[in-house]
């Protein structure tokens, strides 16, 4: 019996909500051993944050930890050494959703796009995500974002171009949705205060809203996850049990419905505390030192 067949028997129709923590640990191990579609990947280690340079050896070391369990990785930036990630991923046999980080710094934006175009022309990019939540943050207006997307499309015919943002932004900004070849929707029941017992149903509705806005274009869940430690958001409680259950539920849904999901994230990252509070440091499937948390 193949591992893939065993996984389908384990997940299809399974009452995950009725499992003990020990059962969930075992199932999480089986899911990872079989392999998940994608992970949001950052090579940063303790003491580093966005803007700190990273080298190829560090990237290789961190990527080697997750490589056996994943088919795709998603990156967030094409500067500060992050532009080395797609090449390393390719050497490991992984596919890449490469991110162009756009913000308020015009010169940095140009460097991001220039590097991304070069990587794509070198054959290191399977999907290009131009911008990540810039509309949600208010860093760029719609016309500015559309200009960057158009420049990428003109430079890279044949490469699917998308934009990453919260699922509802594709409803709010139909021109951006129209410009995408693929919709890259972030879906976080946790950040909307949804209690863990309803989180899977709520995530399905998030996906459906993005899919309705997409009008037949492919929709990828570019981020989703659940923290295991920290302060609650509304009715959403961080805990080990809630986090591992959400992971298993998400993988079950993705398998049954044929949804491509990039789980957030590979590693715990302490720098996120500054932006997200104490919960920000605990979204990884592996801890900050690269030890698996849920198996």
Q: In the chain, what are the domain boundaries?
A: 21-45+53-281
Q: What pTM was computed for the model?
A: 0.95
> Would you state the pLDDT for residue 122?
98
> Would you state the pLDDT for residue 180?
98
Q: What is the SS3 string spanning 55-115?
A: CHHHHHHHHHHHHHHEEEEECCCCCCCHHHHHHHHHHCCCEEEEEECCCCCHHHHHHHHHH
- What does the pLDDT profile of the chain (295 residues) look like in tens digits? 234 434 443 455 556 777 899 999 999 999 999 999 999 999 999 999 999 999 999 999 999 999 999 999 999 999 999 999 999 999 999 999 999 999 999 999 999 999 999 999 999 999 999 999 999 999 999 999 999 999 999 999 999 999 999 999 999 999 999 999 999 999 999 999 999 999 999 999 999 999 999 999 999 999 999 999 999 999 999 999 999 999 999 999 999 999 999 999 999 999 999 999 999 999 999 999 999 999 8
CA 48, CA 30: separation in Å to the nearest integer?
Answer: 32
Do 180 and 153 form a contact (C-beta atoms < 8 A)? no
> Would you state the pLDDT for residue 11?
52
* Rg of the chain in Å (alpha carbons): 18
CATH topology of domain 21-45+53-281: TIM Barrel (3.20.20)
> Would you state the pLDDT for residue 195?
98
């Amino acid at each position: 019996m193949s591992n893939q067949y065993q996984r389908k028997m384990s997940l299809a129709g399974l009452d995950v909500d009725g499992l003990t923590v020990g059962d969930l640990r075992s199932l999480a191990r089986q899911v990872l051993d079989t392999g998940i579609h994608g992970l949001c990947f950052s090579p940063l280690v303790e003491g580093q944050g966005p803007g700190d340079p990273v080298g190829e050896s560090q990237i290789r070391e961190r990527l080697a930890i997750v490589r056996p369990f994943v088919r795709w990785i998603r990156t967030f930036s094409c500067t500060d050494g992050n532009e080395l990630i797609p090449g390393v991923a390719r050497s490991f046999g992984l596919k890449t959703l490469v991110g162009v980080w756009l913000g308020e710094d015009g010169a940095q934006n140009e460097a991001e796009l220039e590097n991304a175009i070069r990587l794509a022309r070198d054959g290191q990019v399977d999907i290009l995500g131009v911008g990540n939540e810039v509309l949600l943050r208010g860093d760029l207006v719609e016309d500015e974002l559309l200009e960057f997307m158009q420049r990428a499309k003109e430079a890279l015919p044949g490469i699917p171009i998308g934009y990453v943002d919260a699922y509802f932004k594709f409803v709010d900004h139909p021109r951006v949705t129209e410009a995408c070849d693929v919709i890259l929707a972030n879906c976080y029941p946790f950040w909307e205060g949804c209690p863990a017992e309803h989180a899977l149903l709520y995530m399905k509705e998030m996906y459906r809203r993005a899919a309705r806005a997409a009008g037949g274009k492919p929709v990828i869940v570019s981020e989703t996850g659940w923290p295991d430690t920290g302060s609650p958001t509304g009715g959403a409680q961080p805990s080990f049990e809630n986090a591992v259950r959400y992971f298993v539920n998400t993988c079950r849904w993705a398998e049954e419905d044929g949804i491509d999901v990039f789980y957030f994230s590979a590693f715990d990252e302490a720098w996120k505390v500054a932006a997200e509070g104490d919960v920000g440091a605990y979204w990884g499937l592996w801890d900050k030192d690269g030890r698996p948390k849920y198996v």
